[in-house]
Structure 1
Amino acid sequence: MSDTHSSSLLAIVSHAKEYGFIYPSSEIYEGLQAVYDYGPYGAALKRNVQNLWWQSMTQLHSNIVGMDAAILMHPRTWKASGHVDSFEDLMVDNKDSKKRYRIDVLIENHAAELSAQGEKTRAQELLEKLQALLQAEELAGLHTLLLQEKIVCPISRTANWTEVHRFNLMFATKVGAQEENADTIYLRPETAQGIFVNFLNVQKTARMKVPFGIAQIGKAFRNEIVARQFIFRMREFEQMEMQFFIQPGSEEKWFNYWQQARWQWHIALGLTEEKLRIKPHAQLAHYAKAAVDIEYQFPFGYKEIEGIHARSDFDLKNHEVASRKKLQYFDPELNQNYLPHVIETSLGSDRLILMLLCEAFTEETITEEESAKTRTYLKLHPALAPIKAAIFPLVKKDNLPQKAQEIFKSLKYDFPLIYEENQSIGKRYARQDLIGTPYCITIDHQTLEDDTVTLRERDSMQQERVHVNILRDFLLEKVSFKSILAKLPTIDSVLI
Structure 2
Amino acid sequence: MKDKVLDIAKRRGFIWGPSPNIYSGGVSGFYDWGPLGKLLKNKVESIIRKTFSSYNFWEVECPTIMPKSVWEASGHYENFTDPITKCLKCKLTYRADDLIKELYPKEKVDGLNEEQLTKLIEKKQIKCPKCKSSLSDVNTYNLMMKTTVGSNTEAFLRPETATTTYLLYPEYYRFFRTKLPFGVFQIGKAYRNEISPRQHVLRTREFTQAEAQLFILPDQEKDFDKFKEIEKEKLPLMPYGKTRKITSLKQAISKKLIKKEAYAYCIYIAYEIAKQLFDESKIRLRQHNPKEMSHYADDAWDLEIETERFGWFEVCGIHDRTGYDLKRHSEFARIKLEKPANILEIAFGLERPTYSLLETAFKEDKIRSWLQFPLGLSPIDVAIFPLVKKDKLPEKAKEVFTQVERDFVAIYDEAGSIGKMYRRMDEIGTTLTCTIDHQTLKDNTVTLREITSMQQIRVKVEDLNDIIKKILTKELEFKKAGKLI
Alignment TM-score, normalising by the size of structure 2: 0.85
- Closer, same or farther: CA 400–206 of 1 in aligned 2, 3 Å: farther
1:174 aligns with 2:148: yes
Name the CA distance, whole Å, in 2 between partners of 1:186 and 1:132. Answer: 27
1:307-351 alpha-carbon deviations (Å, 9 max, x no partner): 11100011111001010122343xxxxxxxxx1111111111000
Q: For CA contacts below 8 A with separation 6 or more, give which structure has more relative contact order.
A: 1
Aligned pairs for 1:81-92 within 5 A: 81-92=74-85
Give the drift of 1:27.
1.0
Corresponding residue number in structure 2 for 1:118: none
Name the CA distance, whole Å, in 1 between partners of 2:313 and 2:276. Answer: 19
Give the drift of 1:132.
6.5
1:256 aligns with 2:264: yes
Aligned pairs for 1:173-212 within 5 A: 173-177=147-151, 182-207=152-177, 209-212=179-182
Name the CA distance, whole Å, in 2 between partners of 1:227 and 1:285. Answer: 23
Name the CA distance, whole Å, in 1 between partners of 2:99 and 2:393. Answer: 62
Aligned pairs for 1:6-405 within 5 A: 7-8=1-2, 10-24=3-17, 25-29=19-23, 30-58=25-53, 60-61=54-55, 63-112=56-105, 127=108, 133-134=112-113, 139-159=114-134, 161-177=135-151, 182-207=152-177, 209-249=179-219, 250=221, 252-269=260-277, 271-282=278-289, 283-299=292-308, 300-329=310-339, 339-365=340-366, 373=367, 375-405=368-398
Name the CA distance, whole Å, in 2 between partners of 1:401 and 1:477. Answer: 26
Name the CA distance, whole Å, in 2 between partners of 1:22 and 1:464. Answer: 33
Aligned pairs for 1:415-494 within 5 A: 415-479=408-472
1:40-69 alpha-carbon deviations (Å, 9 max, x no partner): 1111111111122111111x12x3100011
Give the drift of 1:226.
2.9
1:337-391 alpha-carbon deviations (Å, 9 max, x no partner): xx111111111100011110011111123xxxxxxx3x11111123222211111
Name the CA distance, whole Å, in 1 between partners of 2:445 and 2:407. Answer: 20
Give the drift of 1:273.
1.9
- Closer, same or farther: CA 131–430 of 1 in aligned 2, 3 Å: closer
The RMSD of aligned alpha carbons is 2.0
Q: Tell me, yes or no, if the aligned pair for 1:52 and 1:481 is still in contact at 8 Å.
A: no
Name the CA distance, whole Å, in 1 between partners of 2:216 and 2:35. Answer: 40
Counterpart secondary structure, 2:165: helix
Counterpart secondary structure, 1:312: coil
* Count of residue pairs brought into register by the alignment: 433
- Closer, same or farther: CA 229–455 of 1 in aligned 2, 3 Å: same
Name the CA distance, whole Å, in 2 between partners of 1:202 and 1:477. Answer: 39
Q: Tell me, yes or no, if the aligned pair for 1:78 and 1:84 is still in contact at 8 Å.
A: yes
- Closer, same or farther: CA 450–109 of 1 in aligned 2, 3 Å: closer
Q: Which has the higher helix share?
A: 1
1:147-175 alpha-carbon deviations (Å, 9 max, x no partner): 3443222222222x333322100110111
Q: Tell me, yes or no, if the aligned pair for 2:47 and 2:273 is still in contact at 8 Å.
A: no
Counterpart secondary structure, 1:28: coil
Corresponding residue number in structure 2 for 1:490: none
Q: Tell me, yes or no, if the aligned pair for 1:212 and 1:246 is still in contact at 8 Å.
A: yes
- What is the percentage of aligned positions where both structures have the same residue? 39
The one-letter code sitting in structure 2 at the alignment partner of 1:47 is N
The one-letter code sitting in structure 1 at the alignment partner of 2:349 is G
Q: Tell me, yes or no, if the aligned pair for 1:13 and 1:230 is still in contact at 8 Å.
A: no
1:185-216 alpha-carbon deviations (Å, 9 max, x no partner): 10100000111001221332354732221111
Name the CA distance, whole Å, in 1 between partners of 2:465 and 2:140. Answer: 58
Structure 2: gaps spanning 5 or more residues: 223-259, 477-485
The one-letter code sitting in structure 2 at the alignment partner of 1:200 is P
The one-letter code sitting in structure 2 at the alignment partner of 1:101 is Y
Deviation beyond 6 Å, 4+ runs, structure 1: none
Corresponding residue number in structure 1 for 2:249: none
Name the CA distance, whole Å, in 2 between partners of 1:171 and 1:208. Answer: 36
The one-letter code sitting in structure 1 at the alignment partner of 2:73 is A
- Closer, same or farther: CA 143–320 of 1 in aligned 2, 3 Å: same
Alignment TM-score, normalising by the size of structure 1: 0.83
Q: Tell me, yes or no, if the aligned pair for 1:213 and 1:243 is still in contact at 8 Å.
A: yes
The one-letter code sitting in structure 2 at the alignment partner of 1:268 is Q
Name the CA distance, whole Å, in 2 between partners of 1:381 and 1:141. Answer: 43
The one-letter code sitting in structure 2 at the alignment partner of 1:89 is D
Counterpart secondary structure, 1:303: strand
- Closer, same or farther: CA 22–69 of 1 in aligned 2, 3 Å: same
Corresponding residue number in structure 2 for 1:489: none
